[in-house]
Copies of this chain bind each other. A is one copy, B any other.
Amino acid sequence: MRPMSLPVGLPALADSDLVGQIARILMQAIVQGRLPPGSKVVEAGVARELGVSRAPVREAARLLEKQGLLVASPRRGFFVRKLEIRNIDEIYDLRLCIERHASVLAAKRLSPESRDVLRRQIDVLHQTADLDDPARQVEEDYRFHRLIFEIADNRRLLRLFDDLAAELRMVIGLIGRLYDDPHEIARTHEPLLAAIEAGHPERITAHVDYHIGHAWREVGRLVRELTPPLGNAAEPSSILFPTNGVTV
């Protein structure tokens, strides 16, 4: 048995695949804002907190780096990716691109069962809207869109969506509530599903464009509002965020 110390406030890591678990834990910490953008991820700190050595932590950090959540600075360590508008735009641009595609694909491969699954998820969206739980709302929203990718049935496309979604969740988590009326969110999914059921590529892409484009503009606006305290998007010399030592 391995001498595993007691993780204080962190979920215990029992199963194998330590690296994957650490990556997930780090990801959660990031998207939940416990590791704010710009903050440093100290390997030893994470390792100690989780009761493991630095090696698997490093590997997890590398994965998150390739995924885009972290950036590595050569002899200085890993940092949570900053909130640059450029990056937001690139993510949404790519998401729009693949979600149009996935939606059209999903329409082609839509079965009665998968149609029902989407329907039910819209119901969930409506129910969640009553809860006044923005985080949950965002989560169920993503679940709907993820379902579309699952139906599209391209594993690589799905993985890509998950990667983008993780980063978007971080952004959305930071700016808090995204829409004023949660029911509005739920409703806007209905015409999209209708278009998918109808199977008209043009109508589908139009609705996706509207739907994602709306979120894009909204997030962009809020991020722009949130960014000024940092001045312009000075990319180099990453220390414009002081060692805001909230590292885990």
Contact = CB atoms under 8 A, between A and B. Distances in A.
A228 interface: no
Copies in the complex: 2
The bracket for how many chain A residues form the interface is 35 or more
Contacts of A98: 94, 97-98
Q: Can you list the 5 inter-chain pairs with the closest CB atoms, starting with the nearest?
A: A97-B101, A90-B156, A90-B154, A66-B66, A13-B74
Most B C-beta atoms less than 10 A away, residue of A17, A55, A94: A94
Interface in A1-41: 2, 4-5, 8-9, 13, 16-17, 19
Interface stretch (A56-64, A174-182, A186-194): A56-64
B68 A66 contact: no
Name the prevailing secondary structure of the A interface residues.
helix
Contacts of A87: 156
A2 B237 contact: yes
Interface string A56-91: 001100110011100000110000000000010011
